[in-house]
């Protein structure tokens, strides 16, 4: 039981960061549950149908999902705001329906025999992704992403190819969600399309909003709170979803910019002195 909590908290942190990476360039994605599904199924095919090990299956799934994300991102990212939410939600529905209609991966009954993922795998990846995001936050690329997110038109006028930046960010987020999906699938033993419904995508976005969209620590905090709070109030039985909903609403009312609203600058004056 505790092992499950450790595993799912780590997976949810990776998923939250997958949304955060896309959000860095100013786009919001409600398709990350679908990217998670593609990652889970693709790595499952690699391990169960081709007999390759998990550490081969997950990178293949990540690369394939990144390519898929970038291909659909190219037209989808021409939209913004509510329209992008609708487009990405549509992608989530399409992917789920597509998987349900593919007998090769088990259709609605799902895929079985997926094994090999351990909680420590997830947490090593959490540490690696966290380190990469922290390093990113100290580079000029972070500023280019920030500028694209803040005012895309001005960023373009300055010479930033905002389409390219946004598509790469979208693909990276898709890859990260696919990695989370692959680990999830190989921990669960059996997966079916219902595991990756639209609610998964909605919850992952909520993790980031609850934790705070302005810095990399908000996403893991939101994911941890939203993974562990429902478990800690399990004793409330049928009242549990209602209490959980009220907790989220109160948190967002009290901290509308998330639990960690600050933004860490990518450079400070002291950097000039530090060299």
Partner 1 sequence: MADPVMRFEGVSKRFGGIQALSRLSFDILPGEILGIIGPNGAGKSVMINVASGLYEADEGRVIQHRRDITKLGTHQRGRAGIARTFQNIRLFRRMTVLENVLVADKRHICHPFGSLLSFGRRGAEVAAALAELDHMRLADKADQLAGTLPYGDARRLEIARALAGNPSVLFLDEPAAGMNERETEDLLADIRACRGRVEAIVVVEHDMALLRVLSDRLVAMNYGQLIAEGAPAAVLANPEVVRAYLGTPDA
Which residues, 6+ apart, have CB-to-CB distance to 173 below 8 Å? 18, 19, 20, 21, 22, 29, 32, 35, 69
Question: Does the footprint of partner 1 cover residue 269 (CB under 8 A)?
Answer: yes
Give which of 19, 5, 3, 189 is closest to 112, Cα–Cα. Answer: 189
**Rounded to whole angstroms, how far apart are CA atoms 51 and 46?**
7
Q: Which of 102, 131, 249, 267 forms a contact with partner 1 (CB under 8 A)?
A: 267
Would you say 115 or 135 has its CB closer to partner 1?
A: 135
How many residues bind partner 1, per CB under 8 A? Answer: 36
**Binding pattern to partner 1, positions 140-169, x when CB under 8 A?**
xx-xx-xx--xx-xx-xxxxxxx-xx--x-
Stretch that binds partner 1, among 36-44, 53-61, 115-123, 136-144 (CB under 8 A): 136-144
Would you say 132 or 202 has its CB closer to partner 1?
A: 132
Stretch that binds partner 1, among 31-39, 64-72, 197-205, 264-272 (CB under 8 A): 264-272
**Rounded to whole angstroms, how far apart are CA atoms 77 and 70?**
10
CA dihedral (122, 125, 130, 133) in degrees, to 10, reads -130
Which tokens belong to 10? 């780590």
Q: Which of 3, 97, 101, 139 forms a contact with partner 1 (CB under 8 A)?
A: 139
Residue 255's CB is within 10 A of a number of other CB atoms, namely: 14
How buried is 143 (Cβ within 10 angstroms: 0-12 exposed, 13-18 middle, 19+ buried)? Answer: middle
Half-sphere exposure of 148 (CA within 13 A, CB side): 26
Would you say 52 or 141 has its CB closer to partner 1?
A: 141
Stretch that binds partner 1, among 26-34, 109-117, 203-211, 266-274 (CB under 8 A): 266-274
Minimum Å distance from CB 133 to partner 1? 12
258: left (phi over 0), alpha (psi -120 to 50) or beta: left
Question: Does the footprint of partner 1 cover residue 75 (CB under 8 A)?
Answer: no
Positions in 190-249 near partner 1 (CB under 8 A): 214
Question: Does the footprint of partner 1 cover residue 74 (CB under 8 A)?
Answer: no
Minimum Å distance from CB 163 to partner 1? 9
Residue pair 61/181 in contact by the 8 Å Cβ criterion? yes
Minimum Å distance from CB 270 to partner 1? 9
Minimum Å distance from CB 2 to partner 1? 37
Angle in degrees, 0-180, between the axes of helices 240-254 and 218-232, rounded to the nearest 10: 150
Minimum Å distance from CB 78 to partner 1? 13
Q: How far is CA 174 from CA 50, 67, 275, in A?
A: 23, 9, 35
Contact residues toward partner 1 (CB under 8 A) are 135-136, 138-141, 143-144, 146-147, 150-151, 153-154, 156-162, 164-165, 168, 214, 263, 265-269, 271-275
């Amino acid at each position: 039981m505790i092992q499950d909590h450790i595993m799912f908290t780590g997976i949810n942190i990776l998923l939250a960061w997958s949304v955060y990476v896309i959000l860095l360039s100013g786009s919001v994605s409600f398709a990350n549950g679908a990217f998670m599904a593609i990652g889970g199924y693709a790595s499952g095919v690699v391990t169960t149908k081709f007999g390759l090990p998990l550490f081969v299956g997950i990178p293949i799934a990540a690369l394939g999902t990144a390519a898929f994300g970038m291909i659909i991102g190219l037209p989808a990212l021409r939209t913004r705001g509510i329209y992008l939410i609708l487009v990405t939600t549509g992608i989530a529905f399409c992917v789920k329906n597509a998987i349900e209609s593919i007998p090769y991966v088990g259709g609605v009954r799902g895929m079985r025999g997926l094994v090999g993922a351990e909680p420590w795998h997830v947490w090593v990846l959490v540490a690696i992704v966290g380190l990469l995001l922290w390093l990113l936050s100290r580079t000029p690329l972070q500023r280019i992403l920030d500028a694209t997110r803040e005012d895309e038109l001005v960023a373009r006028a300055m010479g930033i190819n905002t389409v390219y930046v946004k598509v790469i960010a979208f693909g990276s987020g898709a890859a990260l969600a696919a990695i989370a999906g692959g680990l999830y699938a190989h921990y669960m033993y059996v997966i079916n399309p219902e595991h990756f419904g639209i609610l998964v995508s909605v919850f992952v976005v909520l993790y980031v909003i609850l934790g705070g969209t302005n810095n990399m620590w908000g996403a893991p905090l939101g994911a941890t709170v939203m993974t562990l709070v429902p478990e800690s109030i399990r004793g409330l039985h049928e009242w549990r979803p209602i209490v959980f909903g009220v907790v989220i609403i109160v948190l967002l009312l009290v901290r509308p910019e998330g639990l960690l609203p600050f933004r860490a600058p990518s450079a400070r004056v002291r950097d000039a002195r530090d060299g």
